[in-house]
């Protein structure tokens, strides 16, 4: 099945960004009909390498050969013409254009007097039939689901006659079921002669879908294995390079209920984002809310953060019903710590100083008669920096200069340093490298030991299974009933994330 002639040969590629050597002399090859996984942590250099392959970046050294012919560096158009197609993690699509327009952009000479739309439509339909990727060519892209949008992204590459398809973290936004369908499609594509590279840091899917696995670490090619000759354990060690163990929660008895939601619904911009959700959160426990992003967890986090009002239902906070909407000030004052989903957008204001970001949400405590107490603010920031090991900045330096992990430590620190009664953590480890993930998890468990009630919203199964005492799945704005950590298995959670509990529920009623 796999032919011995390499369709793609990457030879000795290096790329430096400032002081950071993102790719250090990397070589790899890909055969026709092969599925190659590029495994590595965030920052291992996977995306940089693929961006060089695709001509987004120009390498400092090395070559990319397609069928033995060198590709001119820094020319996306040449890469496309050579048959390379890229499926980005953050889709490169335009919401206001139709599927057909998204797919055909740039495929015809810019100076031709008319678009050949009917031919394009036929070609698109033929490809989608061939690989079983159905979509309506005239639908507005913004109206499609995330899974459908990914299909469009793949179709776009195939439409350009791609023979080599690169998929960057393709399952990050998919449900378990959607992911399985995707891998079936990928195998079918390989069988039809396409060559595929997919980038991932998830061991399960790498083992399940790839023929061969290349492991990158710190910008270097550290190992190469056939999928059938290796194990998850070996890959994990190769990927991380050292044995980092994520902390796991120990048994404990939860305390009283601190936060209860009864049939809470939220309607935002004409859409029901939360539909009659129920949950109870107890002191000293971690309640995990698992779900694929875009299923209402954003709204849930905003609701409890005080930035979104509920439309109906009851919220009971520390035994007292919440009368009207929660404001951010109320939330912070009542001892709820908040870790936002998108730390760069919401968690900090990059151009402001670290101390200003530390106190902004609790500025009432650091001001007198409208004047900011700068001294106290800087002292507070210093304490966070010391106790939470924030590296790369002083209280007065700009927050933007911190790395993702350190910025997350700052955010954790400003919330945890005063022992909150509730911690709302939305995707707290997203995009962090393994070391930082372990640090964040340790802090969360430490808070739990101290009696803080933690609501953990996450799309990462491993994270939820390691930290949560009880787990509820969120699908389409609805919450499943909770299951205990002991009842939970990857398979069961996968089904819950696909909404499988709902059928049972209707039967029961």
Partner 1 sequence: MSAVLDILASAGLWAAVLRIATPLILGTLGALLCERSGVLNLGIEGIMTFGAMIGWLSVYNGADLWTGFLIAALAGGLFGALHALLTVTLGLSQHVSGLGVTLFASSFSYYVFRLAVPVAGSPPTIVPFKPIAIPGLSDLPFIGPAFFVQTPPTYLAILLALLLAYVVFRTPLGLAIRMTGENPHAAEAQGINPMAVRYGAVIAGSALMGMAGAFLTLSAFNSFFPTMVQGRGWICIALVVFSSWRPGRALVGALLFAFFDGFQLRLQTTLGGAVPYQLFLMIPYILSIAALAVMARRARVPQALMQPYRRGER
Partner 2 sequence: MRFERREHRPLALVLLTPVMAIVAALALSGILIAIAGAPVLEAYWRILTGAFGSRLSTTETLTRATPLMLTGLAAAVAFRARLWNIGAEGQLYLGAIAVAAASSHLLGGLPAAIQIPALLAIGALAGMLLLLVPLWLRLRFSVDEVVTTLLLNFVAVLFVSMLIDTVLKDPTAFGWPQSQSVADAAMLPKLLARSRLHIGLGLAVVLAFILQFVQQRTVFGLRSRAAGLNPAGAVFAGVPLGRTLVVVACISGGLAGLAGAVEVMGVKGYVTTDLSPGYGYSGIVVAMLANLNPLGVVLAALFTATMFVGADGMSRAMHIPSYIADVTVALSLLTMLTAIFFTQYRIRR
Q: Summarize as ranges the residues that interact with partner 2 (CB under 8 A).
A: 18, 305-307, 327-329, 331-332, 338, 340, 345-352, 356, 360-361, 363, 367, 370-372, 374, 401
The contact pattern for partner 1, residues 135-174, with x = CB under 8 A and - = no contact, is: ---------------------x---x--------------
Give dist(CA 89, CA 315) in Å, integer: 36
Rule CB under 8 A: which of 439-478 touch partner 1? none
Output the smallest distance, CB 348 to partner 2, in A: 6
Residue 202 tokens, joined:
């998830």
86/411 with CB nearer partner 1: 86
Give dist(CA 281, CA 283) in Å, integer: 7
Residue 63 CB contacts under 8 Å (≥ 6 apart), including other chains: 10, 11, 12, 13, 70, 71
Output the smallest distance, CB 254 to partner 1, in A: 41
Output the smallest distance, CB 19 to partner 1, in A: 17
Query: Applying CB under 8 A, which of residues 51, 293, 408, 427 lies at the interface with partner 1?
Result: 51
Output the smallest distance, CB 352 to partner 2, in A: 6
Give dist(CA 345, CA 424) in Å, integer: 17
CA atoms within 13 A on the CB side of 184: 9
- Piece of 35-43, 49-57, 187-195, 401-409 that binds partner 1 (CB under 8 A): 49-57
Output the smallest distance, CB 79 to partner 1, in A: 8
Give dist(CA 191, CA 61) in Å, integer: 34
Write the secondary structure of 294-342 as one string of H (helix), E (strand) and C (coil): CCCHHHHHHHHHCCCCCCEEEEEECCEECCCCCCHHHHHHCCEEEECCC
Rule CB under 8 A: which of 107-136 touch partner 1? 107-115
Output the smallest distance, CB 345 to partner 2, in A: 5
Any contact of residue 23 with partner 1 (CB under 8 A)?
Answer: no
CB 81 within 8 A of CB 161: no
Which of partner 2, partner 1, none interacts with 107 (beta carbon under 5 to 8 A by kind)?
A: partner 1
190/422 with CB nearer partner 2: 422
DSSP 343: I
CB 44 within 8 A of CB 434: no
| SS3 of residue 494 by DSSP | helix
Any contact of residue 490 with partner 1 (CB under 8 A)?
Answer: no
Residue 349 tokens, joined:
């204001």
Residue 297 tokens, joined:
């967890």
Which of partner 2, partner 1, none interacts with 88 (beta carbon under 5 to 8 A by kind)?
A: partner 1
Interface residues with partner 1 (CB under 8 A) are: 51, 54, 56-57, 76-77, 80-81, 86, 88, 90-97, 101-102, 104-115, 156, 160
């Amino acid at each position: 099945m796999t032919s011995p002639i390499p369709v793609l040969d990457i030879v000795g590629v290096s790329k430096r960004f400032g002081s950071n050597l993102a790719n250090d002399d990397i070589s790899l090859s890909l055969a026709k009909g092969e599925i190659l996984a590029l495994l590595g942590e965030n920052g291992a250099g996977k995306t940089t390498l693929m961006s060089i392959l695709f001509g987004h970046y120009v390498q400092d050294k090395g070559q990319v050969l397609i069928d033995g012919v060198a590709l001119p560096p820094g020319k996306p158009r040449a890469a496309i013409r050579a048959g390379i197609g890229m499926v980005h993690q953050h889709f490169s699509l335009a919401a206001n254009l139709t599927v057909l327009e998204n797919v055909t952009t740039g495929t015809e000479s810019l100076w031709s007097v008319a678009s050949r739309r009917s031919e394009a439509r036929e070609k698109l339909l033929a490809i989608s039939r061939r690989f079983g990727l159905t979509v309506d060519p005239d639908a507005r892209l913004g109206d499609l689901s995330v899974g459908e949008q990914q299909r469009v992204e793949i179709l776009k590459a195939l439409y350009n006659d791609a023979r080599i398809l690169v998929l960057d973290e393709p399952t990050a936004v998919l449900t378990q079921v959607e992911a399985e369908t995707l891998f079936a499609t990928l195998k079918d594509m390989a069988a039809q002669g396409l060559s595929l590279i997919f980038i991932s840091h998830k061991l399960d899917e790498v083992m399940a879908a790839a023929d061969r696995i290349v492991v990158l670490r710190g910008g270097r090619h550290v190992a190469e294995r056939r999928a059938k000759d290796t194990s998850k354990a070996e890959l994990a060690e190769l990927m991380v390079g050292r044995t980092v163990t994520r902390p796991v929660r120990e048994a404990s008895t939860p305390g009283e209920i601190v936060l209860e939601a009864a049939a809470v619904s939220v309607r935002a911009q004409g859409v029901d984002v939360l539909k009659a959700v129920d949950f109870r959160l107890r002191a000293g426990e971690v309640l995990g809310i698992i779900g694929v992003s875009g299923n209402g967890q954003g709204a849930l986090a905003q609701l409890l953060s005080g930035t979104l009002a509920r439309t109906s239902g009851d919220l009971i906070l520390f035994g007292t019903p919440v009368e009207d909407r929660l404001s951010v000030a109320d939330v912070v004052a009542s001892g709820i710590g908040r870790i936002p989903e998108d730390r760069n957008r919401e968690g900090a204001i990059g151009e402001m100083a670290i101390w200003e970001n530390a106190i902004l949400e609790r500025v009432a405590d650091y001001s007198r008669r409208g004047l900011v107490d700068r001294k106290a603010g800087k002292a507070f920031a210093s304490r966070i920096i010391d106790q939470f090991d924030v590296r790369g900045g002083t209280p007065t330096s700009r927050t933007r200069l911190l790395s993702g992990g350190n910025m997350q430590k700052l955010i954790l620190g400003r919330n945890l340093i005063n022992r909150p009664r509730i911690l709302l953590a939305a995707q707290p480890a997203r995009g962090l490298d393994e070391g930082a993930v372990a640090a964040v998890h340790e802090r969360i468990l430490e808070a739990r030991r101290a009696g803080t009630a933690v609501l953990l919203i996450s799309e990462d199964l491993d994270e939820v299974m390691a930290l949560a005492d009880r787990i509820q799945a969120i699908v389409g704005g609805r919450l499943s009933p909770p299951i205990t950590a002991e009842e939970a298995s990857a398979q069961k959670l996968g089904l819950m994330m696909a909404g499988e509990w709902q059928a049972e529920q209707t039967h029961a009623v």
